[in-house]
Amino acid sequence: MIKVINVVGARPNFMKVAPIVEAMKRREREFTPLLIHTGQHYDADMSDSFFRDLDLPAPDIHLGVGSAPRAEQLAAVEARFAPVVEREKPDWIIVVGDVNSTLACARTGKKLGIKVAHVEAGLRSFDASMPEEANRVETDRVADLLFTPVEDANENLLAEGIKAERIRLVGNIMIDSLMKHLERAQQSKIKTRLGLTTNDYAVLTLHRPSNVDDPKAFKRILEALAEISRRLPIIFPVHPRTKKNIAEFGLEEGIAASSGLRLIEPLGYLDFLSLFSGARLVLTDSGGIQEETTQLGIPCLTLRENTERPITVTMGTNKIVGTDPDKIMTHAAAALANLSRQPVSIPLWDGHAAERIVAAL
C-alpha cells in the first residue's frame, strides 16, 4: 500500500489534485491518499464550493496558514506541515503547480527524507521577477519525480541538468478536470443570473501583482478594457487583491463609467467554467485559463509580457499582449472579427493525466 499526501494550498491547486485523488481511490488496494490543505488562500465559502464542484473530499488536515508575505508564508507552511509528515510517514508527497505551498511542502519532504512528486513540472516563463517562477524552479530541483504536461517542459528540465529518469511526460492535469466537468458546468445558471442571453460577451481575470499592484499598469489595462467593453460586455469576477487595489487607487469612478465592464464576485469552479467556456473572448493574467481556452478553441489574450505555457501560443489560441492598450485593443478586435472556433489537439491533453501519474507512482 502506497501512502500519499496530496497538497493543496490555493484554488488553482484544487483542479489539479482532484483527478489524482480520484484516480488513487479507484485503486484503493494500492493507495492510501491523504489530502492536506495548507490554507494559503482560504475563504470558507469559495473553498467549500470548489471542493463540492470537483467532487473532492474534505481535507483530512487543514493547516490554517492564511495569507502572509511570501517568506513568512513559506516558513509557516513548513513549520505546520513538518509535524504532519513526521506523524503520517507517507511514501510520497505530491505537490502541484507553483504556489508558495507547493515549494514549502516540497522543501519539507526533502528535509525529512520523503519522496516528492511535482505535478506540472518544467514550466518556465524565464521571468525571474515572478515569485511563481522561483517556486517552480526550486520545487523541480528538490522533487524526486517530475510530471510534465508538455514536451517543452521536459526540454526545460533537461537543459537545467535534471536527469531524464526523474522526468515523466504525463499530459495536462487541468484538462482532466475540464473534460470531466464541462458537461456538468453547462447546467450552471450563472449566465441566466447575469442576464447573458447570447455568447456575445468576454470574460476577464486579473490578479497578478505586476498588473494590479502597479497603478500605471492597472490604468493602462483598464483603458483598453473600457474601449473593448463598448463592443461587448466584459464579465469580471474580481479577485480580493484586485478589489482592494481598485479602492486604494481610486479607480471605482473610472470603472463605473465603463458600463460594459461588469464586476462580479469570484465564482466557483462550475460557474466559472460555464461562463468562460461560452465566451467570445477571454482576457487573463492567469496561467491555467490559457490552457483551458486553448483546449476549447476560445481566443485568449494574456495580459503579461511572457507565459510559462508557450504551447498555448504556438499551437493554441493564446496571444501575449502585455499591458499596452493599443496592443490589447488591436488583438481583441482581431479575435472578435474571427467567428470560427477550433478546439486544439495537444498530445496527452486527453483527460487521462491522473491515470498516468498514479501508474508512475
Q: Which residues are catalytic?
A: 207
- The Cα 39–Cα 291 span in angstroms is 25
Phi then psi for residue 34, to 5 deg, are -115, 145
Place of cell 528540465: 157
Q: Is 16 exposed, middle or buried (0-12, 13-18, 19+ CB in 10 A)?
A: buried
Q: What does the buried/exposed string (b/e) look like for 206-234 if buried means 16 or more CB atoms within 10 Å of the residue's CB?
A: bbbebbbbbeebbebbbbbbbbbbebbbb
Alpha-helix runs per DSSP H in 143-214? 151-159, 173-185, 190-193, 209-212
Q: Are 41 and 66 in contact (CB under 8 A)?
A: no
Cell of 288: 491555467
Phi then psi for residue 326, to 5 deg, are -65, -45
- The Cα 37–Cα 6 span in angstroms is 9
